[in-house]
């Protein structure tokens, strides 16, 4: 699984996508998908940068 | 003047100035009548399910299946199957889950059940666990007062049917899995519905989340757990335990079945009648955690405007306020601008998602006209959907 940052209109990270899926994960620590992303990060992985 | 009686309960009203030696007896008889009436009415109300939200389990009758609509799935660890029913597993592809698997007749009073079928004869190793159950929200369990003196006794009741017999089990855990109560029950006859209940004294120690939107407690049913996650039955223990030692392993027998319905977790030491709730109410309770919009050709998910040549901002109102800001995902959807259709290729919360609705920025490969009205719909199929997920 590969995550990718999503930016808002000001270029600030606002959500997380999963490459190959049409999905948007909010950066909310109560969200279990975001918790899974944080665990993935803690394992040493790096998300793709946001699309330009 | 003789004694008279009250209008409704026909209680004796001793004559004032008379009944010198009998008024006490008459009043005591009246009190006994009132007491008996109160108890009978309370039990009757409970039997008829009119005592409100007594069942802390949501979708305990296994009626709602938004994700799979009755189809069989092989769940991964953390996946949800029927609404609010979660799987925890250390090994992939050891069992399937399906609403009404095997098409047996449910117990009287029920129309649905959750069916687990073992996919192989897997021998669990010490660190394995295979569980189905529910994470209950703290807002719905805080009144139980776990983690302090005076914690309430709870009773878990359910109907179960298995192709296997013997001592089965499950567990109640706190959110940190530092407190566990492995419980056991016996399935006496194969392939026969049996109703079980387990009464559990409230845990007076440990850390239990109170009135928050986090996990108040877990209620798990065991399908196979190794020695690390197993311990003495029917007692609170510090640590992570999911099953009583020696419990039947469903995943250990290829084709073994484990069906369950009528799951109820309630305050008190008695299993009362199942808390049947209206379908619409149960669906809305589920939608606090998961909402799928789907169902027809070109089903509309939201409306908005074209933000850029490749993006449209579309608003979707959720049917109920969700537990937390949800994950939003799309499958087989498109943006319609006028008569032109653009397949959706991405979604982002960049435009703003709240617990009440998603203002999603939907990407396409097309060249849309900025400022035009945009509609997010299913593509030309009935299987497309918009999902919002706020599960525990």
Inter-chain touch A22–B347, beta carbons under 8 Å:
yes
Inter-chain touch B350–A33, beta carbons under 8 Å:
no
- How confident is the model at residue B18, as a pLDDT? 81
Strands (E), B119-240: 129-137, 154-162, 166-173, 179-187, 194-200, 215-225, 230-231, 237-238
> C-alpha distances in angstroms, A4 versus A32, A47, B53?
17, 5, 41
How does pLDDT run across B14-23, given as a tens digit for each residue?
888 887 888 8
Residue B250's φ and ψ, nearest 5 degrees, are -65, -40
Of all residues in chain A, the one with the smallest CA distance to B351 is A8
DSSP B182: E
Please name which of B235, B86, B107 lies closest in space to residue B171, comparing C-alpha atoms. Answer: B235
Question: CA B289, CA B311: separation in Å to the nearest integer?
Answer: 28
- How confident is the model at residue B48, as a pLDDT? 47
Neighbours of B271 (CB within 10 A): 18
The DSSP element (H or E) to which B24 belongs, if any, is helix B23-47
Tens of each residue's pLDDT in chain B, 392 residues: 688 888 888 888 888 888 788 888 888 888 888 888 777 666 655 554 455 689 999 999 999 999 999 999 999 999 999 999 999 999 999 999 999 999 999 999 999 999 999 999 999 999 999 999 999 999 999 999 999 999 999 999 999 999 999 999 999 999 999 999 999 999 999 999 999 999 999 999 999 999 999 999 999 999 999 999 999 999 999 999 999 999 999 999 999 999 999 999 999 999 999 999 999 999 999 999 999 999 888 899 999 999 999 999 999 999 999 999 999 999 999 999 999 999 999 999 866 899 999 999 999 998 999 999 999 999 988 889 999 999 99
pTM of the model: 0.89
Q: Is A5 an interface residue toward B (CB < 8 Å)?
A: no
The answer to whether the CB of B178 falls within 8 A of the CB of B211 is: no
Helix (H, G, I), strand (E, B) or coil at A5: strand
Of all residues in chain A, the one with the smallest CA distance to B327 is A25
- How confident is the model at residue B162, as a pLDDT? 98
**Which tokens hold the place of A50?**
């946001």
Please name which of B251, B235, B200 lies closest in space to residue B96, comparing C-alpha atoms. Answer: B251
Inter-chain touch A6–B327, beta carbons under 8 Å:
no
Size of interface A-B (CB pairs under 8 A): 63
3-state SS of chain B?
Answer: CCCEECCCCCCEECCCCCCCCCHHHHHHHHHHHHHHHHHHHHHHHHHCCCCCCCCCCCCCCCCCCCCCCCCCECCCCCCECCCCCEEEECCCCCEEEEECHHHCCCCCCCCCCEEEEECCCCCCCCCCEEEEEEEEEHHHCHHHCCCCCCCCCEEEEEEEEECCCEEEEEEEECCCCCEEEEEEEEECCCCCCEEEEEEECCCCCCCCCCCCCCEEEEEEEEEEECHHHEECCCCCEECCCCEECCCCCHHHCCCCEEEEEEEEEEECCCCCCCCCCCHHHHHHHHHCCEEEEECCCCCEEEEEEEEECCEEEEEEECCCCCCCCCEEEEECEEEEECCEEEEEEEEEHHHCECCCEEEEEEEECCCCCCCCEEEEEECCCCCCEEEEECCC
Please name which of B202, B130, B135, B205 lies closest in space to residue B169, comparing C-alpha atoms. Answer: B130
- ipTM for the predicted complex: 0.97
How does pLDDT run across A12-35, given as a tens digit for each residue?
999 999 999 999 999 999 999 999
Please name which of B168, B304, B151, B166 lies closest in space to residue B234, comparing C-alpha atoms. Answer: B168
Of all residues in chain B, the one with the smallest CA distance to A9 is B350
Q: Count Cα atoms within 13 angstroms, Cβ side, for B378.
A: 15
Inter-chain touch B330–A22, beta carbons under 8 Å:
yes
Query: Which residues in chain A are contacts of B87 at CB distance < 8 A?
Result: none
Inter-chain touch B348–A33, beta carbons under 8 Å:
no
Q: Is A23 an interface residue toward B (CB < 8 Å)?
A: yes
DSSP bridge partners of B119: none
Q: Is A24 an interface residue toward B (CB < 8 Å)?
A: yes
Please name which of B79, B75, B82 lies closest in space to residue B61, comparing C-alpha atoms. Answer: B82
Query: Which residues in chain A are contacts of B389 at CB distance < 8 A?
Result: 32-33
The answer to whether the CB of B244 falls within 8 A of the CB of B232 is: yes
């Amino acid at each position: 699984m590969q995550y990718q940052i999503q930016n808002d209109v000001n270029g600030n990270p606002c959500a997380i996508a999963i490459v190959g899926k049409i999905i948007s994960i909010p950066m909310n620590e109560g969200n279990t998908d975001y918790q899974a992303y944080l665990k993935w990060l803690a394992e040493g992985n790096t998300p793709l940068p946001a699309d330009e | 003047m003789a004694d008279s009686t009250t209008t409704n309960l026909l209680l004796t009203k001793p004559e004032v100035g008379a009944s010198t030696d009998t008024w006490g007896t008459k009043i005591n008889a009246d009190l006994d009548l009132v007491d008996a009436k109160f108890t009978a009415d309370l039990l009757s109300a409970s039997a008829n399910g009119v005592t409100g939200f007594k069942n802390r389990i949501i979708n305990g009758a296994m009626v709602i299946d938004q994700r799979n609509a009755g189809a069989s799935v092989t769940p991964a660890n953390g996946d949800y199957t029927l609404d609010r029913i979660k799987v925890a597993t250390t090994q992939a592809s050891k069992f399937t889950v399906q609403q009404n698997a095997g098409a047996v007749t449910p117990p009287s009073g029920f129309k649905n059940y959750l069916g687990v079928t073992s996919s192989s004869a897997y021998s669990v190793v010490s660190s394995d666990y295979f569980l189905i159950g529910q994470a209950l929200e703290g807002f719905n369990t805080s009144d139980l007062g776990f983690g302090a003196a005076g914690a309430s006794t709870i009773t878990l009741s359910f109907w179960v049917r298995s192709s296997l017999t013997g001592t089965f089990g499950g567990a109640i855990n706190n959110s940190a899995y530092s407190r566990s109560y492995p419980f056991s029950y016996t399935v006496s006859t194969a392939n026969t519905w049996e109703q079980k209940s387990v009464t559990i004294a409230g845990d007076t120690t440990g850390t239990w989340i109170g009135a928050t939107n986090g996990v108040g407690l877990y209620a798990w049913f065991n399908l196979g757990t190794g020695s690390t996650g197993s311990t003495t039955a029917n007692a609170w223990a510090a640590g992570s335990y999911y099953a009583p030692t020696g419990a039947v392993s469903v995943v250990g027998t290829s084709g073994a079945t484990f069906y369950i319905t009528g799951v109820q977790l309630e305050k008190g030491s008695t299993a009362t009648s199942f808390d049947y709730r209206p379908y619409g109410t149960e669906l809305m309770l589920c939608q606090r955690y998961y909402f799928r919009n789907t169902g027809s050709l070109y089903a509309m998910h939201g409306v908005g405007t074209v933000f850029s040549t490749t993006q449209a901002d579309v608003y979707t109102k959720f049917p109920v306020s969700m537990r937390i800001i949800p994950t939003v995902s799309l499958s087989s959807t498109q943006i319609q601008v006028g008569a032109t259709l653009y397949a959706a290729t991405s979604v982002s919360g960049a435009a703003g998602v709240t617990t009440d609705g998603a203002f999603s920025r939907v990407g396409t490969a097309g060249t849309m006209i900025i400022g035009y009205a945009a509609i997010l719909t299913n593509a030309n199929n009935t299987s497309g959907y918009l999902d919002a997920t706020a599960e525990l």
